[in-house]
Structure 1
């Protein structure tokens, strides 16, 4: 009888310990759960791979990815806490911060390179002829987010070629709907990238009007991972783990085409063969404040910024 009571006390003690440990573990996992919002491109490939290859889990993080139709919607999604981390383009991020949103970059995602620049085009529908930059005057051009990466780059290119950007009619068109809108004649051209270029070309919907990113030949950040400053500072340990996981996944993106393609196809819902045929954008997990200087200069020249941004405050230490 005494032995049974002793065993029961021990068992109860262990039960209390296990329950307490489970509660603590559950709380830790709840704190580490992250929703990452990105558009349907390869720019967030490092996060896609980190999810699919279990890298986030290995680093103690519970992560899910959420598709965002328009990149310019990402800052608002972060501030509403529907996502904790987003993949805004450099331009969307800087304009959001300039507008008063307290966002901070926590890790790098993709950067421009000769390969990625060649994948960016102004794709023109059948019936429209573009031989030189001035041929875009009076045309209706769809961009996957006004004032987002592709749009700002195109405006920069027009200016350098002596074309007034105000002479072009820009509208927002999401990546997944570009083919249908081009086919219907809803726009004359779209600012897009692979694999959408190849998909529309193979469907006979039009042709490449300009490879404007090739002409600019830059190597600056395209997209990086950002969060609210409040969330990032409150979850410093989680951010450190996130960075470690992204760095590990970036090596796979840059070195294992098959794994990268599988993850990109899964998230973007593009055919795997089409994704395989398109090299993913170069993944660069390290992001330094000075990496954003060129973007600030370009955006200031386009009168997109109202204040003078301090690059030192834009990237979390």
Structure 2
């Protein structure tokens, strides 16, 4: 499996193509301040509440980003496309999103670039940090049994459309045979319990919480599409990359160091969850730990993009060599 690599020259070349969109043009975010004598550069970043956000928080706590030359100003988001306008408008330097939302934005001509890989799922289905969940008394045993019903997802037109669409097709159903309902992850279990939706696609720690409340998993959408599938990505605007190549490289270094640390010592990450997230020690011992690779995974991106074209989320493939900076 190959991952993209680019040189600093490619980052510099991006400056020639920079548009008027994006943030980071002030002195604090300039390349000269990236880990220089004035200290680490502060980078504003938003990521999806739950496991993705815990990753960045852990890296910040452990000093990996500061060692690389950046300090993260982290806020939580609902994920998906919600962070793209903030990024393009300059309110964020980095956005954590899913690859589908970012590919849609790129296909619409927005100047967004993937600079690092976000969350990936496990190679083993039982350790998939996502799950399609229904009430325990629901007779459904797979997505095929939810035909004509409502499924909660955190945002529309994102990775949910791809992985659940693939599950529906595998079950011999049309992709529109269920209705997706947009809900924040923390609200999904209550919506299932109240009958507002039949099921929900949850990620950790909300997946384990739902299980503790007596709900059951009837599908593993991420690993069923591809074991080790890359779900998330970190995105910057084209302008920010062109103006701040040192900051880009420092952020990438921090992401890679954090990913390596969690892969080598997942128990340390698990032990930190009660401090860095709204996770009890008991819950921290049970949640499934995401995988992070640091770099973008070409095989995952190509698979997802091909399905996006098939599912009419993209009119045509985008140039991955252009939008992936790694």
8 A Cα contact 1:257 1:279, kept in partner? no
8 A Cα contact 1:43 1:222, kept in partner? no
| 1:252 paired residue number | 261
Structure 2 CA distance, aligned partners of 1:73 and 1:56? 25
| 2:69 paired residue number | 60
How far is the alpha carbon of 1:286 from its aligned partner?
1.6
Q: Supply the RMSD in Å over aligned alpha carbons.
A: 2.6
Of the candidates 60, 64, 68, which is equivalent to residue 51 of structure 1?
A: 60
8 A Cα contact 1:52 1:263, kept in partner? no
Structure 1 CA distance, aligned partners of 2:33 and 2:141? 64
How far is the alpha carbon of 1:254 from its aligned partner?
1.2
| 1:124 paired residue number | 134
8 A Cα contact 1:144 1:172, kept in partner? yes
Structure 1 CA distance, aligned partners of 2:33 and 2:109? 36
| 1:94 paired residue number | 103
Of the candidates 240, 253, 264, which is equivalent to residue 249 of structure 2?
A: 240
Deviation by residue 1:254-287 (Cα, 9 ceiling, x = unmatched): 1223432355545542324313322321110122
Of the candidates 42, 45, 49, which is equivalent to residue 33 of structure 1?
A: 42
Local SS of the residue matching 1:220: coil
The alignment's TM-score, normalised by the length of structure 2, stands at 0.81
8 A Cα contact 1:155 1:165, kept in partner? yes
Structure 1 residue runs of 5 or longer lacking an equivalent are: 1-22
Is 1:158 the equivalent of 2:168? Answer: yes
Of the candidates 300, 313, 318, which is equivalent to residue 304 of structure 1?
A: 313
Deviation by residue 1:4-36 (Cα, 9 ceiling, x = unmatched): xxxxxxxxxxxxxxxxxxx98999869921111
Of the candidates 229, 242, 246, which is equivalent to residue 220 of structure 1?
A: 229
Local SS of the residue matching 1:191: strand
| 2:291 paired residue number | 282
| 2:270 paired residue number | 261
Structure 1 CA distance, aligned partners of 2:69 and 2:141? 53
| 1:174 paired residue number | 184
Structure 2 residue runs of 5 or longer lacking an equivalent are: 1-31
Structure 1 CA distance, aligned partners of 2:41 and 2:121? 30
Local SS of the residue matching 1:231: helix
Of the candidates 171, 189, 195, which is equivalent to residue 199 of structure 2?
A: 189
| 2:115 paired residue number | 106
Structure 2 CA distance, aligned partners of 1:263 and 1:75? 29
Alpha-carbon distance change, 287 to 211 in structure 1, aligned in 2, over 3 angstroms: closer
Structure 2 CA distance, aligned partners of 1:280 and 1:287? 19
Local SS of the residue matching 2:70: coil
Aligned residue-pair number: 294
Local SS of the residue matching 1:63: strand
8 A Cα contact 1:121 1:208, kept in partner? yes
8 A Cα contact 2:306 2:317, kept in partner? no
How far is the alpha carbon of 1:215 from its aligned partner?
3.0
Alpha-carbon distance change, 26 to 167 in structure 1, aligned in 2, over 3 angstroms: closer
8 A Cα contact 1:41 1:264, kept in partner? no
The alignment's TM-score, normalised by the length of structure 1, stands at 0.83
How far is the alpha carbon of 1:302 from its aligned partner?
0.5
8 A Cα contact 2:132 2:218, kept in partner? yes
Structure 2 CA distance, aligned partners of 1:284 and 1:46? 12
Q: Which has the larger radius of gyration?
A: 1
Structure 2 CA distance, aligned partners of 1:241 and 1:199? 35
* More helix by percentage: 1
Of the candidates 56, 59, 81, which is equivalent to residue 72 of structure 1?
A: 81
